[in-house]
Chain A
Amino acid sequence: MERQMTGAKMVVQALKDQGVDTVFGYPGGAVLPIYDEVFQQNDIQHVLVRHEQGAVHAAEGYARSTGKPGVVLVTSGPGATNAVTGLTDALLDSIPIVVLTGQVPTFLIGTDGFQEADTVGITRPCTKHNWLVKDPNQLADTIHQAFHVSTTGRPGPTLIDIPKDVQFATGTYVSPQKARVSHYQPRMKGDTDAITQLAEMMEEAERPVFYTGGGVINSGPGASQLLRELVEATNFPITSTLMGLGAYPASGKNWLGMLGMHGLYEANMAMHDCDLMICVGARFDDRITGRVDAFSPGSHKVQIDIDPSSINKVIHVDLPIVGDVGHVLEDLLRIWKSKGRKTNTDALANWWKQIDAWREVNCLSFKNSTKTIKPQHAVQRLEALTRGMDRYITTEVGQHQMWAAQFLGFDEPGRWMTSGGLGTMGYGLPASVGVQMAHKESLVINVAGEASWLMNMQEMGTAVQYRLPVKQFILNNERLGMVRQWQELLHGERYSQSWSEALPDFAKLAEAFGCKGRVVKDPADLDDAIREMIEYDGPFILDVLVEKHENCFPMIPSGEAHNKMLLGEASTADAIGEAGAALV
């Protein structure tokens, strides 16, 4: 159906037609016509954030926890530049979001007008694609294209810059069905010959391991289901990146835990010693590989990825399979089953014996205390008291993030929202707001560090305004813990600028925001405090005062191989060489 309407009305109509129910945003001069249309309808709920970065992270949380694209509406200039960190975060973690920005009217573009910024220029490298729309007749079509691009293939952020005069002007609206079918149609099906070859490799492998990542989750719940079936049927061990937690259940018997720099000993050792590595929707990030030339030296590597540029980018793989994880796993299962469901069971039994020996190292052990709360213990108790609940976890970035990944178990995809690729401090609180908007009745907890949390703490206002009962679980060590840890290991214990001075009283801060807070510092009170946080009907800030100098282990020192893990304090002396120190 073709209809005449203003650009501003088209924006709202296009969002409705795309099935959008929630928009995170912040108004300003260049988006006033769109906000006027938002005012005059009830189908889409607008969530007023306190800072545009918060809007983007909230949209990311919404997207990750629902599988639907998150939508952001902000103004020109500072509104757009404040969104840049969130866009980059979404790009690196492949999160589908659509950001609409206002722009000065077309006749002012290029004149350094008030609140003018070259938004498409600034965001070109941090979006999957972006558009400046100068013709109202192109607006609806462009919005539909943006949704298509964001959600097709490897997901990612898109941005549409809409000048104010285009919002006022009248044009023809086109529906999503009538929109120009974009030529952007990435290949979904994997090459059958390659998949057959993988099935044959699986039959013969003596020490196989599945190395899975965020791509499994992005591929949809079907892909996670197929992965589980495949792991079950083959009895291969499986590990996952930070981004992929939950695709295979943490309670599954083949689960090795997370791999990588702060991953589990058994997971990293299995990666190092395997003879067949099946990489499913992961991208050999430097946090995963450690030293590249010593990465899993004796293995054949197979990589399944929808993005051809992920293949051979860091690690040369022997068998690349370009395609959607869900499609490829479906074909793989079918082919492997039709060939007789064979695995090298004797060798596999020995491999599991070896893995069990690594498991006995008990790499996550830590010395608990009755005097101070150990951060690991706090996360362990959080896990014990919330496991089995309808629970979503977000995190900030740092030590607490790694402890959360190590000690919390995820049995379903889409339950774990964290900033993996970009490592954005300040992600967790707004993300928890976005998750809670999508899952009103669920328990949403942001596992945070006090320094990260302060970076976007203004979003507590959003949580209170929309009655979102998000739980802020702050592991407060009054330090930038991970920075401090690196300074201890690498920079002669010179703790340059890595402490949190003049911290607010978080319980009083909660009160000031109009929600509830509590400080806990005695291990004996911890369970009670966590219970109070969970049971409180509203947003809650729990300030957990933890051991200040705890380090996060295990750890692969930078510039080292997987089998050179540090397991605890005793092994840290001179662990990182000069070359390693240059790496971040």
Chain B
Amino acid sequence: MNALKIKKGSSRKSAYELRDPNSDVVETHTLAVIVDNEPGVLARVIGLFSGRGYNIDSLTVAEVDHTGHQSRITIVTGGTPAVIEQIKAQLGRIVPVHEVHDLTVEGAAVERELALFKVAGTGDKRVEALRLADIFRANAVDSTLESFVFEVTGAPAKIDAFADLMRPLGLVEMARTGVAALSRGGE
């Protein structure tokens, strides 16, 4: 699993921001893109976003069908409705892209992210960190006398909340996987 964060708002000056004055509301969408697992396919997708001035809030990619050579790229992106539609159309015309699903509009979806937090501290802070980890159903996957590594799984907002709580308790560093998402229901 890969995680990649590109600074939000890095494309505020792109021409796409000037396009549709009628819909200025920036929405966050989660897109699932099914691609052939071939060399360069991720570069094509990322290059599309940077080349055309779109944002990537989070990106997750891994092979999901070994025999069919297919990977699933989950992208969380932001833009006005017109920009989101354009992103989907542009993704759709990349030759090794098979399907583009906008999980934000295609009905309910579950979104999960895994994160690791290294928290160092002693005394009350250490105890408090462990107590909060319990509330968040985080697992301690590494422990020394002065530190923990917690593993948390959940929606991005939950990860954000846990990070906010750990910061004053000695957060040293964190790693996030980016979002994996699936539509709800049997189809």
Contact = CB atoms under 8 A, between A and B. Distances in A.
A132 B18 CA distance: 37
B70 to A, nearest CB: 11
Interface residues of A, number: 24
Contacts of A307: 89, 93
Interface in B56-86: 82, 85-86
A278 B172 CA distance: 60
Nearest to A322: B89
Given A292-B19, A316-B82, A309 B40 contact: no
Contacts of B39: 132
A293 interface: yes
Contacts of B47: 124-125
Nearest to B19: A314
Interface string B83-97: 001100110111110
B5 interface: no
Contact of A309 (B43, B82, B92, B95): B92
A422 B66 CA distance: 40
Nearest to B21: A293
A183 interface: yes
Contacts of B19: 292, 313-314
A308 B93 contact: yes
B134 interface: no
A112 to B, nearest CB: 19
B17 to A, nearest CB: 13
Contact of B89 (A124, A292, A309): A309
B85 A120 contact: no
B95 A128 contact: yes
Contacts of A292: 18-19
A525 B5 CA distance: 67
Given A120-B40, A124-B40, A132-B39, A312 B82 contact: yes
A121 B39 CA distance: 11
A132 B86 CA distance: 28
Main secondary structure of the interface of B (DSSP, over half): helix
B82 A129 contact: no
A308 B82 CA distance: 13
A286 to B, nearest CB: 9
A582 to B, nearest CB: 11
A184 interface: yes
Interface residues of B, number: 22
Interface string A150-193: 00011000000000000000000000000000111000000000
B51 interface: yes
A154 B94 CA distance: 12
Contact of A312 (B43, B44, B86): B86
Interface string A274-308: 00000000000000000011000000000000011
A308 B89 contact: yes
Contacts of A308: 89, 92-93
B90 A309 contact: yes
A124 B44 contact: yes
Nearest to B96: A129
B89 A149 contact: no
A307 B92 CA distance: 10
Contacts of A149: 95
B29 to A, nearest CB: 16
A129 B35 CA distance: 14
B40 A311 contact: no
Contacts of B98: 183
Interface string B15-57: 0001111100000000000000001100110010001000000
B51 A309 contact: no
B69 to A, nearest CB: 12
A149 B90 CA distance: 16
A313 B20 CA distance: 9
Contact of A313 (B40, B86, B95, B96): B86
Given A120-B40, A312-B86, A125 B51 contact: yes
B185 to A, nearest CB: 26
Contacts of A128: 95
B128 to A, nearest CB: 49
Contact of A311 (B43, B89, B96): B89
A125 B46 CA distance: 11
Contacts of A314: 19
A342 to B, nearest CB: 33
A311 B82 CA distance: 10
Interface string A490-510: 000000000000000000000
A43 B41 CA distance: 36
Q: Chain B CB within 10 Å — which of A153, A154, A308 has the most? A: A308
A515 to B, nearest CB: 42
Contacts of B21: 293
Contacts of B18: 292
A234 B39 CA distance: 51
Nearest to A129: B95
Contacts of A183: 98
A562 B96 CA distance: 40
10 contacts: A129-B94, A130-B40, A132-B40, A154-B93, A184-B95, A292-B18, A293-B21, A308-B92, A316-B20, A316-B82
Given A309-B89, A309-B93, A311-B89, 4 more contacts: A184-B95, A307-B89, A309-B92, A312-B86
**3 nearest CB pairs, A to B:** A309-B89, A129-B95, A308-B89
Interface of B: 18-22, 39-40, 43-44, 47, 51, 82, 85-86, 89-90, 92-96, 98
